[in-house]
Structures are given as C-alpha cells and as structure tokens.
Amino acid sequence: MANDKLAKVVKAIESSDLGSIKVILSGLVKLANDPMANIKDLQNIIKLDPPLAGKILSVANSAYYATQRRFNNIEQAVIWIGLEAVKEIALSQFACDIFTMNSKKHRIRSRLSLWRHSLVVAILAKLIYRRELGKPGGNAFTAGIIHDIGLIFEDQHLNGDFVTVLEEMDEYDGSIVDIEQKVLGFDHAGLAMTIANRWDFPSDIAFALAGHHGPDSTPSNFRMLTNVIFLCDNVSHDMGFGFYELSQEQVNENIKNSLELLQIDEHSLDLLSEDVNFELDNMLKNFSPF
Ligand SMILES: [Fe+2]
Ligand SMILES: [Fe+2]
C-alpha cells in the first residue's frame, strides 16, 4: 500500500472490534446483493447476532407493522415484515452498532449526525432506484448506509488527525476530501474502498464508497450506483441532514447535474424527500442509539 499511514490504519481496523464484525457485515452485504437469498439465509446471519434477532421481533411488534397478534418467534416475524425490510433492519442495526462503538462523550453529537445522515442517504437511494430508475437496487440501501464508514474508521483509529480535519473544516471553506488528503494523505472514501475490497464487497458498492464525493472517476459500468449515492449525499445536506457544512451553491449544482444525468425531475425528488422524512422517523423510533 503506497501510503504508510493508510496501511497502518487498515491493519488496525482489521485487528480491532471493527474487524471482528466483518463476518456479519460481509454476510449482510452478500445477502442484500443476492436476489435468490431466502429467509433461511437471513436467519443464519441473524443467529450470529442475538441482539439483532431481538430488534427484528420488536420492529415486527411495533406500531408501524401494527397487527392484532404478537410475534415471539423470529421466523414468523421475518415472514410478517418481509425479507427486504429485514435486510434493511439488519443493516441499520449493524451500522448503528458501528456508529456508536467506543463513542466517547465528546464524539456523540457528531456520531449522531453522521448516523442520521447515513440513514437518509440509504433510504433515499433505495427509493430512487425503485421509483425513479425502476430497478430493485439491492445494493442502494447498503451502499448508502455505509458510504461514510471511512469517517468512523478515521475517528476510531486516527482520532487526533480526524479532529484536526474537522477543525480545519470549520475554519476554512474546503472540501473534506481535500483536507483529509492534506492531513492524512488519503481520504475516507478511498479508505472505505480499500476495506470494501479487502472484505470482498460487490464492486459496485466499493466504487460507490470510493466515488461518493466525485463520481467522475468511477468506471462507466459501475457509475449508476455511484451517481445515485453522490446525489443522495448532496440531497441529504440540502434537507438539513448533512454531516458538515457544504457550500449551498455547490450542493445545488451537484443536485442539478446529477438529476440531469439520471433523468429524474426535480418535482419527483421533492416527493421522494417527503417519503424519506416519514421513513426516517420510523427508523429513528426503532433505533435510538444515543
Ligand atoms: Fe463522505
Ligand atoms: Fe456522506
């Protein structure tokens, strides 16, 4: 690996608590990517994580899925709320665990905004695929929820440098990736792609993580997911769910260009944003990590 610091941090991630969750995350990503996945496959992964099974039962019994009956059995709960929804719950719970892992008090505020930001990007990406692009977009939610995971890795393993990056962001009008490149010699997008490749994630997810701040260098056959995550990242800032300040002018321009590229009209995006707020409220009721 060209950059010594990058090599060190990758090694640190893989031998830490974050590395130990690789099995569950890789399993969920593979499953979300597999149209032939069935309830049994999902149950096998859920079994690896007992708190997740509890979460699925509580969601199945929540007001959102209101029913006369109560579920005590994970198999029935999975059938009731559906495979897709269970995959999303599993990924959200997983991300929630990572986003709160070893979170020190002073970091909680920024972790909370990063968690909300990632959920908004994931929900919007899923809705864009299904409603605007007419595709199942099996990896859209997954890529959305982990697109900024590189920031968590940096916070966890390079905290001093990460705090410097955030302070410089407050002080100067620069893009986060430029400041990371200056302070660290790499950025969270590149770091996430390195980990995604080492953990055998599907290529479109790895490229989307790498290109979510600049999709132009993504190979054309993987460009759609990257473009969608780039758009959603900007829309989430526009909706007030950004992780840091961005120039509104730049956000507007990125949204306009992405909509043109994906052939989505502005009005449809407004309607989707309303649905995102609704889904987000439900998600936050079920996941209260902080
Ligand atoms: Fe990012
Ligand atoms: Fe982001």
What DSSP string describes 89-125? HHHHHHHHHHHHTT--GGGHHHHHHHHHHHHHHHHHH
Look at residue 152 in the predicted model and tell me its pLDDT.
87
Q: State the distance from the centre of ligand 2 to the C-alpha of 154, rounded, in angstroms.
A: 14
Question: 29: part of which helix (H) or strand (E)?
Answer: helix 22-32
Closest ligand to Cα 154: 1
* Total residue count of the chain as it appears in this document: 290
Those residues with Cβ within 8 angstroms of residue 37's Cβ, 6 or more apart along the chain or in another chain: 31, 83
State the distance from the centre of ligand 1 to the C-alpha of 280, rounded, in angstroms. Answer: 19
Supply the pLDDT for residue 27.
Answer: 76
Q: How far is the CA of 120 from the centre of ligand 2 (A)?
A: 10
Domain-wise residue ranges, the chain: 4-286
Mean pLDDT by 10 residues, the chain (290 residues): 82 75 73 72 73 79 73 78 80 76 59 87 96 88 91 87 87 87 95 91 93 94 96 96 86 96 95 92 70
CB-based burial label for 64 (10 Å; 0-12, 13-18, 19+): middle
Q: From CA 142, how far away is CA 250, in angstroms rounded? A: 26
Per-residue pLDDT of 213-249, as tens digits, reads: 999 999 999 999 999 999 999 999 999 998 877 889 9
Identify the nearest ligand to the CA of 234 by its number.
2
How many whole angstroms separate alpha carbon 116 and alpha carbon 99? 10
Query: Which listed ligand is nearest to 144 at the C-alpha?
Result: 2
Distance from the alpha carbon of residue 236 to the mean position of ligand 2, in angstroms:
8
Q: Which ligand is nearest to the CA of 242?
A: 2
Name the pTM for this structure. Answer: 0.86
Give the number of the ligand closest to the Cα of residue 153.
Answer: 1
Residue 83 CA to ligand 1 center (angstroms) comes to 29
Distances (CA, A) of 189 to 65, 195, 206, 226: 36, 10, 9, 12
Residue 237's pLDDT is 94
Q: Which residues contact 193 (CB under 8 A, 6 or more apart)?
A: 206, 207, 209, 210
Query: Is domain 4-286 given the CATH code 1.10.3210.10 in the classification?
Result: yes
Residue 89 CA to ligand 1 center (angstroms) comes to 22
- Residues 6+ positions from 99 with CB-CB distance below 8 Å: 111, 114, 115, 118, 152, 289
Distance in Å, CA 236 to ligand 1 centroid? 12
pLDDT of the residue at 150: 93
